């Protein structure tokens, strides 16, 4: 595969393919495993991820890249093959989560800043050596009628830009992820409030990327959709699609090769339906695809339940969700295909 950033970024947004976010932190994966009554051991985490990475139908046809966690990028499959090589063999690009998580932002009540810039240059060099060709950093933006503050938006945008510049220096494509939280507190904001905040955040992020001399052709954007708060859901699927596309068109330069949405609190099916409506109904300068974690994995995790005898059925469940999202990435998903 070409090592040019533009080529890697293009491969990550291959038509009809999307990115599997398998970068849950130890705390998050434990919560997921708790729902199926499974202990979160290193071996169980490895088995779970290997089950997905070896789901051939899903990986070869529907998945362009996989975001890994620090532990996973170093792990070997049960047969001794490095998991990175299992991913590469399927044709997908291995990636790595490099941020240190969102921490309370001093002086800004209810808002956060993502940490992890210290020592990032050296970590990126190591991850490149381990096979990672893209990275992910998530900035978390709280939303209510009063939040976010300009200070929080600006500081998160600056951190995203510094991270992106360091990635490109290391030969790694940055996924730039500014997430305006759908399920934040109190979660009763309207879709128009989400539009306003998302537009503001994206304009600020791209101004900072420009100032940091980040090459737009060698990055992928991972934003939230424009959607009403978790506790105020009224907007139709059509409205979510239309407002999201309108917001992106007014903020994201055409030089960006692709946009891979996070699912951010939406149900599996909703996230798929919204993406499909956008691809079916609008002409856009960039590829529009998915970078889902829970929305790709929830059914597979439940089916697997930590049991070897369920691996094939769980892979089938994962392949189904991947296929539905692959169709959505080309605007061809239909509700009645879900039952199949």
CA atoms of 245 and 288, how far apart (whole Å) = 10
Alpha helices in the chain (DSSP H): 5-12, 26-34, 42-53, 56-62, 70-73, 83-89, 120-129, 150-169, 191-211, 237-249, 268-281, 294-304, 311-328
Catalytic residue among 24, 50, 177, 179: 177
Q: What is the mean pLDDT of the chain?
A: 97
Closest CA to 103 of 68, 151, 139: 139
CATH assignment, 5-337: 3.20.20.70
177 a catalytic residue:
yes
185 a catalytic residue:
no
What is the SS3 assignment for 68?
A: strand
Determine if residue 110 is left, alpha or beta; phi over 0 gives left, psi from -120 to 50 gives alpha, anything else beta. left
- pLDDT per residue as tens digits for the range 263-306: 988 999 999 999 999 999 999 999 999 999 999 999 999 999 99
Q: Percent of the chain having pLDDT more than 90?
A: 96
CA atoms of 194 and 247, how far apart (whole Å) = 10
Name the more confident of 132 and 183: 132
Angle between helices 294-304 and 42-53 (to 10 degrees): 110
pTM of the predicted structure, to 2 decimals: 0.96
The position carrying tokens 């399920």 is 183
Closest CA to 186 of 97, 110, 119: 110
pLDDT score of 183 more than 90 = no
- pLDDT per residue as tens digits for the range 64-84: 999 999 999 999 999 999 999
Catalytic residue among 97, 136, 222, 243: 222
- pLDDT per residue as tens digits for the range 196-244: 999 999 999 999 999 999 999 999 999 999 999 999 999 999 999 999 9
pLDDT score of 1 more than 70 = no
């Amino acid at each position: 595969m070409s090592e040019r950033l533009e080529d890697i970024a293009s491969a990550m947004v291959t038509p009809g393919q999307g990115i599997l976010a398998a970068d849950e932190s130890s705390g998050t994966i434990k919560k997921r495993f708790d729902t199926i009554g499974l202990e979160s051991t290193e071996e169980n985490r490895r088995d779970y991820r290997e089950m997905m990475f070896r789901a051939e139908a899903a990986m070869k046809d529907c998945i362009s890249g996989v975001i890994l966690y620090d532990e996973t990028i170093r792990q070997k499959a049960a047969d001794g093959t490095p998991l990175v090589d299992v991913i590469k063999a399927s044709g997908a690009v291995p990636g790595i989560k490099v941020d240190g998580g969102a921490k309370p932002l001093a002086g800004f009540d209810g808002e956060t800043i993502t940490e992890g810039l210290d020592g990032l240059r050296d970590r990126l060099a190591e991850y490149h050596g381990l096979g990672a060709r893209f990275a992910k950093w998530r900035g978390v933006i709280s939303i209510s009628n009063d939040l976010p503050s300009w200070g929080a938006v600006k500081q998160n945008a600056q951190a995203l830009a510094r991270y992106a510049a360091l990635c490109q220096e290391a030969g790694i494509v940055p996924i730039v992820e500014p997430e305006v939280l759908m399920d934040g507190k109190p979660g009763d904001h309207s879709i128009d409030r989400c539009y306003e905040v998302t537009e503001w955040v994206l304009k600020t992020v791209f101004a900072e990327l420009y100032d940091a001399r980040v090459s737009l052709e060698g990055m992928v954007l991972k934003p939230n959709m424009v959607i009403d708060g978790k506790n105020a859901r009224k907007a139709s699927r059509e409205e979510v699609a239309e407002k999201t596309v309108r917001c992106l068109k007014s903020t994201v330069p055409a030089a960006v090769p692709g946009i891979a949405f996070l699912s951010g609190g939406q149900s599996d099916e909703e996230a798929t339906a919204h993406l499909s409506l956008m691809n079916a109904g609008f002409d856009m300068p960039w590829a529009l695809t998915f970078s889902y974690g829970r929305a790709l994995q929830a059914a597979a995790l439940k089916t697997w339940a930590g049991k070897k005898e369920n691996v094939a059925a769980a892979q089938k469940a994962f392949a189904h969700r991947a296929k539905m999202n692959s169709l959505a990435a080309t605007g061809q998903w239909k509700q009645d295909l879900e039952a199949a």
